[in-house]
């Protein structure tokens, strides 16, 4: 009788130990899930706050780019002409030869910025025997300056195509320089993290929200069908 009682007690102890082990595993799994959910929420919040304005901007300019033909800007062209003083013009005689490129001397660049408003500092000009041509492309417009190396005649033209064109060029990173180039890369990484952390949160809550994966699948399938079958229709 005592032997049977010991076996029964051992069986109960084994069941209890197994139940305790299962409870600890379930607790650890719950803690891990809570940790990753908390991390996903934190990074989703941080990246969402950091990219909110940028995503609104890129969504808006996505519409304006898609309807660029209907949204016509009226270019504003400013042209200025002047003559360079002989002492400055003589400095251009020391420039590179035909077909080469180089920046203008600092004194010449400073005088041009003051005289005609050309943002020419550190810009590279295309040199020929008779002319120095400096292109100054920019978001939402264009500008150029021509200097006659013989007479000193200067023509400066600045074209602005309006705010929408400026925003569209920011969207495309057109003529925006290295700082905006790096901003676009950093912003893109933050936007990717925002989407991935959102996907993690969707996955964690999907069991309580049955339409989750259907909607995600539709978000993939609809543009895929359009891209493959309907682009040229």
pLDDT in tens, the chain (233 residues): 455 555 566 566 666 777 777 777 777 877 787 888 888 899 999 999 999 999 999 999 999 999 988 887 789 999 999 999 999 999 888 777 777 888 898 999 999 999 999 988 788 899 998 899 999 999 999 999 999 999 999 999 999 999 999 999 999 999 999 999 999 999 999 999 999 999 999 998 888 888 999 999 999 999 999 999 988 87
Residue 69 to residue 12: CA distance in whole angstroms = 79
pLDDT for position 15:
66
Asked whether 97 and 166 are in contact (CB, 8 A), the reply is no
Q: How far apart are CA 72 and CA 164, in angstroms?
A: 9
For the chain, the residue count is: 233
For the stretch 1-34, what's the b/e string if a residue is b when 16 or more beta carbons lie within 10 angstroms of its beta carbon? Answer: eeeeeeeeeeeeeeeeeeeeeeeeeeeeeeeeee
Tell me if residue 15 falls in helix, strand or coil. helix
Residue owning tokens 């908390």: 38
Is the CB of residue 120 less than 8 Å from the CB of residue 107? no
pLDDT at 11: 65
- Which residues does 148 contact at the CB level (< 8 Å), separation at least 6? 130, 131, 154
Hey, CA dihedral for 75, 78, 79, 84, is it positive or negative? negative
DSSP 171-231: HHTTT-HHHHHHHHHHHHHHHHHHHHHHHHHHHHHGGG-TTHHHHHHHHHHHHHHIIIIIT
Q: How far apart are CA 97 and CA 93, in angstroms?
A: 9
Residue 107: how many CB atoms within 10 A of its CB? Answer: 11
Tokens 């139940």 locate to 19
């Amino acid at each position: 009788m005592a032997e049977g009682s010991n076996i029964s007690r051992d069986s109960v102890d084994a069941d209890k130990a197994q139940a305790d082990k299962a409870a600890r595993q379930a607790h650890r799994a719950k803690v891990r899930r809570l940790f990753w959910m908390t991390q996903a929420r934190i990074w989703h919040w941080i990246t969402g706050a950091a990219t909110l304005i940028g995503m609104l901007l890129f969504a808006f300019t996505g519409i304006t780019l898609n309807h660029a033909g209907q949204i016509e800007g009226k270019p504003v062209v400013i042209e200025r002409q002047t003559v360079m003083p002989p002492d400055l013009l003589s400095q251009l005689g020391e420039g590179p030869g035909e077909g080469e490129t180089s920046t203008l001397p600092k004194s010449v660049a400073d005088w041009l910025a003051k005289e005609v408003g050309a943002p020419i500092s550190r810009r590279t000009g295309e040199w020929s025997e008779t002319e120095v041509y400096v292109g100054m492309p920019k978001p939402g417009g264009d500008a150029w300056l021509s200097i006659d190396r013989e007479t000193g005649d200067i023509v400066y033209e600045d074209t602005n195509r309006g705010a929408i064109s400026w925003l569209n060029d920011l969207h495309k990173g057109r003529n925006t320089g290295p700082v905006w180039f790096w901003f676009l890369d950093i912003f893109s990484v933050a936007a990717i993290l925002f989407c991935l952390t959102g996907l993690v949160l969707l996955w964690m809550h999907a069991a309580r929200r049955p339409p989750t994966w259907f909607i995600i699948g539709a978000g993939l399938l609809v543009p895929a069908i359009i891209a493959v079958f309907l682009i040229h229709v």
